[in-house]
């Protein structure tokens, strides 16, 4: 289990779940595109089979994303705004429920041409999910920016070093300059 309040150890989880959920929305959007292609094409088999397969794949990926979001809300990764996270979870569960039902309705006849109104409704559901997901991503970006509003990473403070040290060992210097003076040839012979 991750330490409470630790953001460095769990930042990967906060970045992973939005990516997985965005991929799910994209896959469902592609399935709607395939259904539209089936409505417009003469050979619907390839498009309807592709849409059916994409819906199944989207359900699997979406379930993984929901599990990651639930882990974040459970406190393992520290959600920036719990209410917004719960609203995001509910909206995404509604998206998954729609496509699970759509998958179940189509399962007995996956290559049957679907009605245009159903494709349009699926498109609206995907569009609404994409808008809600973008709003959640903006919330995460605002939270990560903090009170100053900047997400720039501040480099660690380097202790101040003696600036004259490199000059002293830089080699021969003219007399009157600080630092050790080069030895005269007579002094070298005496040593």
Determine whether 92 is exposed, middle or buried from the number of CB atoms within 10 Å of its CB (0-12, 13-18, 19+): buried
The count of residues in the chain is 191
Q: Is the pLDDT of residue 174 over 60?
A: no
Q: Is residue 55 part of a domain?
A: yes
Residue-range definition of the domain harbouring residue 45: 11-142
Tell me the pLDDT tens digit for each residue of 18-74. Answer: 888 899 999 999 999 998 888 888 778 888 888 889 999 999 999 998 888 888 777
Distance separating alpha carbons of residues 20 and 68, to the nearest angstrom: 9
Higher pLDDT, 17 or 146: 17
Q: Is residue 119 part of a domain?
A: yes
Q: Is the pLDDT of residue 2 over 50?
A: no
Q: Is residue 24 part of a domain?
A: yes
Tell me the pLDDT tens digit for each residue of 127-173. Answer: 999 998 888 888 877 776 655 554 444 455 555 555 555 555 555 55
Q: Is residue 179 part of a domain?
A: no
Phi, psi (5° rounding) for residue 189? Answer: -70, -35
Q: Is residue 158 part of a domain?
A: no
Q: Is residue 69 part of a domain?
A: yes
Tell me the pLDDT tens digit for each residue of 73-122. Answer: 776 555 556 777 788 888 888 899 999 988 888 887 766 777 888 888 89
Count structural domains, the chain. 1
Q: Is residue 6 part of a domain?
A: no
């Amino acid at each position: 289990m991750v330490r409470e309040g630790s953001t460095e150890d769990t930042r990967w989880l906060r970045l992973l779940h939005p990516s997985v959920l965005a991929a799910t929305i994209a896959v469902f959007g592609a399935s709607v595109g395939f259904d539209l292609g089936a409505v417009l094409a003469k050979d619907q088999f390839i498009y309807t089979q592709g849409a059916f397969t994409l819906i199944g794949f989207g359900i699997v990926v979406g379930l993984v994303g929901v599990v990651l979001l639930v882990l974040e809300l459970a406190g393992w990764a520290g959600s920036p705004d719990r209410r917004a996270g719960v609203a995001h979870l509910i909206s995404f569960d509604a998206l998954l429920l729609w496509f699970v039902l759509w998958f179940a309705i189509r399962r007995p006849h996956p290559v049957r041409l679907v009605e245009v109104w159903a494709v349009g409704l699926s498109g609206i559901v995907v569009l609404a999910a994409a808008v809600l997901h973008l709003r959640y991503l903006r919330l995460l970006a605002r939270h990560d920016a903090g009170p100053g509003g900047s997400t720039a990473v501040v480099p660690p403070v380097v202790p101040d070093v003696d600036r004259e040290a490199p000059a002293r060992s830089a080699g021969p210097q003219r007399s009157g300059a600080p630092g050790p003076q080069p030895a005269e040839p007579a002094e070298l012979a005496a040593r």
